[in-house]
Structure 1
Amino acid sequence: MAQFTVARARAELARIRPALDRLVVVRADAAELAAALSPGGPPTALGGMAELKAAEALLDELITEIRESGASLKGLAPLLLDFPAELGGEDVLLCWLEGDAELSWYHRVDLGFAGRRPLP
């Protein structure tokens, strides 16, 4: 697994940010289309099964692009990314959560999200 510096992880996050923003929109569209296609589901102007399949294919492409960045995609709703790094000689994961303005959190590898702390 590649190690990131804080600066490199922030640069990579900025580079993939358009894909993350697009994923949020397509994720919502796919959820709305799936709900509309369920029995008794509410109508939607987004389309039907073909549009849902297209949204799912686009989601797969966006997820692949994000994973190819070296980030670990830990959650889709909300989006949660971890970038493996080292801080103070300790292996950590730099952590970005959908809604965070920038990459400014980390947690120890063994603690996960519950151990999330602000970057020094």
Structure 2
Amino acid sequence: MALFTVAEARAELARLRPTLDRLVAVRADAAELAASLSPGGTPTPLGGMPELKAAEALLDELITTVQDTGVHLKGLAPLLLDFPADLGGEDVLLCWLEGDAGIDWYHRVDLGFAGRRPLPS
């Protein structure tokens, strides 16, 4: 498993931003399409079943693009990314949650999101 430094993780997040923004938009479209196709759903100008299938395929492609970088995609709604790292000799995951300005958090591998702490200055 490749490890990121804090600087590398921040650079990778910056590089991934367009992909993440697209993922958020397609995620919203897929949710709207799925709701419109459910019993009693309100039709949407986005289309129907073919457009939902296309959105799902694009979501899979975008997710693969993120995962191919070595970043762990832990959540889709909201997006939650973990960047494997070594911090002071301890294996950690640098953590980014949709809405965060940047990578300013980490957690121990064994604790997960509940153990999220601010990165030391």
Q: TM over 0.5: same fold?
A: yes
Q: Amino acid of the residue matched to residue 81 of structure 2?
A: L
> Residue in 1 aligned with 2:55?
55
Q: 2:113 and 2:17 mapped to 1: Cα distance?
A: 21
Q: For 1:53-87, what per-residue CA distance to the aligned partner results, in whole angstroms no more than 9, with x for missing partners? A: 11001101100000011100000000000000011
**Shift in Å at residue 27 of structure 1?**
0.3
Q: 1:42 and 1:100 mapped to 2: Cα distance?
A: 33
Q: Amino acid of the residue matched to residue 33 of structure 1?
A: L
Query: Is the partner of 2:95 in helix, strand or coil?
Result: strand
Q: Amino acid of the residue matched to residue 45 of structure 1?
A: P
Matched, 1:46 2:41: no
Q: Amino acid of the residue matched to residue 44 of structure 2?
A: T
Q: 1:58 and 1:43 mapped to 2: Cα distance?
A: 21
The alignment yields a C-alpha RMSD, in angstroms, of 0.6
Structure 1's unaligned 5+ residue stretches are none
Q: How many residues align?
A: 120
Structure 2's unaligned 5+ residue stretches are none
Q: 1:69 and 1:20 mapped to 2: Cα distance?
A: 13
Matched, 1:12 2:12: yes
> Residue in 1 aligned with 2:33?
33
Which TM-score applies when normalising by structure 2?
0.97
> Residue in 2 aligned with 1:82?
82
Q: Amino acid of the residue matched to residue 80 of structure 2?
A: L
> Residue in 1 aligned with 2:104?
104
**Shift in Å at residue 39 of structure 1?**
1.3
Q: 2:43 and 2:54 mapped to 1: Cα distance?
A: 18
Q: Amino acid of the residue matched to residue 94 of structure 1?
A: L
Identity of aligned residues (%): 83
> Residue in 2 aligned with 1:22?
22
**Shift in Å at residue 42 of structure 1?**
1.1
Q: Amino acid of the residue matched to residue 31 of structure 1?
A: A
Matched, 1:69 2:69: yes
**Shift in Å at residue 98 of structure 1?**
0.3
Which TM-score applies when normalising by structure 1?
0.98
Q: 2:15 and 2:69 mapped to 1: Cα distance?
A: 9
Q: For 1:29-70, what per-residue CA distance to the aligned partner results, in whole angstroms no more than 9, with x for missing partners? A: 000000101111112111011110110011011000000111
